[in-house]
Amino acid sequence: MSEDLKKRIQELESELKVVRLASMQWEEIQRTYQKSNDRLQEVFGELNQVSERLTMAFEASQLAWWDWDFKSGKLDCSENMALLLGLKKEFLPATFSAFLELIHHEDAPEVKANLERHLNGATDYFESEYRLKTSSGEWKWVFDKGKILEKDILGKPSRLLGVTMDVERKKVHEKKLLTEFEKADEANRAKSSFLSTMAHEIFTPLSGVVGMAEILKQSELSPEQMEYLEIIVDSATNLLSVFNTIMDFLKIEADQIELTSSFFSIYDVIEELLSVIVPEAAEKGLEVITFIDPNIPTQVKGDPARLTQVLRVFADNGVKFTENGEITIEAHFLSWDEDNVNIQFRVTDTGIGISEEAMKRIFTSFTRISPSTGKYGGSGLGLAIARHLISKMKGEVNVESTPSKGSSFIFNVILEKAPGSEPPAADPKIKGLKVIVIDPSSVNAKVLMDYLGRLDCDVEHFITLTDGLQEISHRNKINKPADLVIVDLEAAKLAQGSFTPNPAWAKIGKLLLHYQGSSIPDKISEMGFGCVLKRPFLPEELWFSVYNTITNKIIRPVAEVPAKPLPRTETRKLMILLAEDNLINQKVATVTLSKLGHHIDVAENGKIAVDMFKKNQYDLIIMDIFMPEMDGLQASREIRLIEQSDPSKKAIHICAITANADKDDEEKCFEAGVNSYITKPFKLEELIEILDSIR
């Protein structure tokens, strides 16, 4: 083979390799192309599917889309826009300016303002609800939502896209709801007016009953007549309580209960509660035990009347459903921060308890927790009202109960913290005292020991006086004598026959505890007790009794020393104008005030009261609020205007008297120029306090 041929063969082989390589690359290009083409077809399919879904979604929801070229002003809309307006697609507005002409003139300014805010970047979307004019000339409510999609090189909007939705049915529904709301609001106002009227109509005769009964009590009556009179007063008071409960429930339904806010003491609340509960419990032979955590601040801010009402509901039920044992009322400090104090209350009884089934509906309105025999009565509203009031005070309520053993109602309330009212530190006069408590009742002993423990005393408990006496003697022998022994009357009675005092007994301070109404036998009086303290007691009363016992001194807190009142005979006799339209109430007030030595003129309505004020000189006006021709509020305003026209005239004290005790009603009275405010049926003490304030 020649060299030229060999060379040519080599060249051909090289070219063949190039061709084969090119062929392989071409095949790879074809495969890549095929894959790309397949993927492109797949994407087209997906896009078609999405497009179909979007089209179906727009059709199903009747949404109309619009595309606005911001620079040219051209507007492109979908066929649904034509359907929405009842037009053919070729007659749809082609520019935004033309579209604006279809918007109701009352809505156009707001639409333009919303659009301007979006164009300026103040909002992420353009949103607006407005009326559009249809082909029939009617107005249809629509909702628009759109957004800037494109901007030019300077960042200014060049294209907006959005959708329009038919909301006519929604607006019709809203209008219907608004109409119903207005009707409900009108009915609520009518209900409020009815409540005020009913309160006046019921409290007025009750005032007559209670007032006349109080006047009769001042007469010479036989024991039998006095008993009958007490029954009348109790019945009227019970009726008033039931009516107040119903009124509170109706106010809760109408969302008309508002809490007041004032500084008060938890101790005062418990003391007020005890003044009512203890006599009720004593009639059934029940003991009332109280514990107030000394860590509770001396002052808090809230609504003391509503807090007392809640405690009264639970305590009243405790007395009602308990035949033997005791009612325990406790107040515990939970926590506080810079602004608020969290206080827990617990009211426990040893009564009939509550079944598991009744526990599920215990706070339901009109539900009684007592057996179906109706033995215990009640409206079934008290607990529902209590729970609502606790909720208003940002608290919660829980119940623990065992049938035939008793129940505990535990609730907490959040009250505002009063500046400078931190819990007092343990008094150094009491701190460190070695105290022996002798009490057969573990419940009573625990309360007493808790109190003394909080006062930093070293306390030990014994059940019998014999055991306690042995401990006192033992401590004396080892030169570690106790400072004070506190003995319950029942423990002393059990040991009075075998009691033999010893030298240690003579040296120790001795404090006797007994329940209110119980008598102290002579033999126990001879045991040498330095002080006697009645149960239930408040922490301060215990503190003074302990101090008096160990020091043999009788002291009183400075804050509790009242100013010396003026004797009734020295109190100035007043000229009083009574504005009252009810004849019975006129009689009650006239007789009551006359017996106190005052002169009374009567006006049957507000107009007459104003005329009499112009003609005569009075020291006090007692103004009923609900009167014909001119009510008490208007009459008070007229009187204040008369006084303003004559600067030399001294402003007269006006005392409003009404059946309504709401915060709003009280505020209305003071806004009208009233100085003081008492409710029907008024208490003689309240009226005397007003009279004594006039100088």
Confidence of residue 206 (pLDDT cuts 50, 70, 90): confident
Of 451, 392, 444, the C-alpha closest to 427 is: 451
In the block, tokens 């005030």 appear at 593
The pTM of this model reads 0.58
Give mean pLDDT, residues 134-151: 90
Q: Which residues pair with 287 in a beta bridge?
A: 326
The residue that leads in pLDDT, 688 or 104, is: 104
Could you give the CA distance from residue 296 to residue 336 in angstroms, rounded to a whole number? 10
pLDDT of residue 553: 54
Residue 520: what pLDDT?
86
Residue showing tokens 């095929």: 34
pLDDT at 22 over 50: yes
Q: What percent of the chain has pLDDT over 70?
A: 88
Q: Which amino acid is at 100?
A: L
Mean pLDDT of 618-646: 90
Q: What is the pLDDT of residues 80-93, one digit of tens each?
A: 888 888 888 888 88
Mean pLDDT taken over the chain = 83
The Cα 636–Cα 474 span in angstroms is 75
3-state secondary structure of 427: coil
Query: What does the pLDDT read at residue 571?
Result: 57
Residues with Cβ within 8 Å of residue 268, at least 6 apart in sequence: 304
Is residue 51 very low, low, confident or very high in pLDDT (cuts 50, 70, 90)?
Answer: low
CA–CA distance, 447 with 409 (Å, rounded to integer): 18
The tens digit of pLDDT for each residue in 415-463 reads 998 877 766 666 677 888 999 999 998 888 988 898 888 778 899 999 9
Tokens 């100085």 -> residue: 675
pLDDT, residue 199, reads 66
CA–CA distance, 161 with 156 (Å, rounded to integer): 15
Q: Tell whether the model's pLDDT for residue 673 goes beyond 50.
A: yes
Q: Please state the rounded mean pLDDT for residues 48-63.
A: 65
Contact 381, 245 (CB under 8 A): yes
For Cα atoms 451, 452, 454, give the angle at the middle one, nearest 5 degrees. 65
Angstrom distances, CA of residue 6 to CA of 16, 17, 86, 266: 15, 17, 89, 122
Q: How many Å apart are CA 261 and CA 598, to the nearest integer?
A: 35
Mean pLDDT along residues 8-12: 78
pLDDT value for 564 = 37
Split at pLDDT 50, 70, 90, the class of 195 is: low
Is residue 60 over pLDDT 70? no
The DSSP secondary structure of 286-316, one letter per residue, reads -EEEEEE-TTS-S-EEE-HHHHHHHHHHHHH
Residue 568 pLDDT level (bands cut at 50, 70, 90):
very low
**How far lies 106's CA from each of 109, 139, 140, in Å?**
7, 12, 13
Q: What is the pLDDT of residues 303-338, one digit of tens each?
A: 998 899 999 999 999 998 999 989 999 999 998 888
- For residue 369, what pLDDT is reported? 56
| C-beta atoms surrounding 543 within 10 Å | 20
Within 10 angstroms of residue 340's Cβ, the number of other Cβ atoms is: 17
**pLDDT at residue 366 is higher than 60:** no
Tell me the C-alpha to C-alpha distance, in Å, between residue 272 and each of 443, 514, 544, 560: 22, 20, 20, 16
| CA 601 from centre of chain | 42
Q: Which residue has the higher pLDDT, 621 or 248?
A: 621
- Mean pLDDT along residues 113-132: 92
Residue type, 481: P
Residues 677, 679, 680, 685: what is their CA dihedral angle, to the nearest 10 degrees?
-80
The DSSP bridge partners found for residue 601 are 577
For the cut 90, the answer to whether the pLDDT of residue 227 exceeds it is no
**Cα-Cα-Cα-Cα dihedral of 544, 546, 551, 553, to 10°?**
30
pLDDT of residue 13: 79
pLDDT tens sequence across 675-688 = 988 877 777 777 88
Q: What is the CA radius of gyration of the chain?
A: 43
Quick: pLDDT tens for 479-501.
Answer: 999 999 999 998 988 887 778 88
Looking at the chain, the whole-number percentage of residues with pLDDT higher than 90 is 27
Go through the chain and tell me how many residues it has.
695
pLDDT tens-digit profile of 572-592? 789 999 999 888 888 888 888
DSSP 569: G
pLDDT at position 593 over 60 = yes
pLDDT at 221 over 90: no
Residue 74 contacts residue 95 (beta carbons within 8 Å): yes
Tokens of 573: 């006799």
Higher pLDDT, 52 or 74: 74
| Mean pLDDT computed over 136-162 | 90
**SS3 (DSSP) at 678:** strand
Residue by residue, what is the 3-state secondary structure of 125-138? CEEEEEEEECCCCC
Asked if residues 77 and 65 have their Cβ atoms less than 8 Å apart, the reply is: yes
pLDDT above 60: residue 367: no
Q: What is the pLDDT of residue 557?
A: 42
How many alpha carbons fall within 13 Å on the CB side of residue 149?
Answer: 11
Judge residue 677's burial from the number of C-beta atoms within 10 Å of its C-beta, 0-12 exposed, 13-18 middle, 19 or more buried: buried
Taking CA atoms, 274 is separated from 267, 299, 345, 366, 449, in Å, by 10, 19, 14, 27, 21
**What is the residue type of 458?**
D
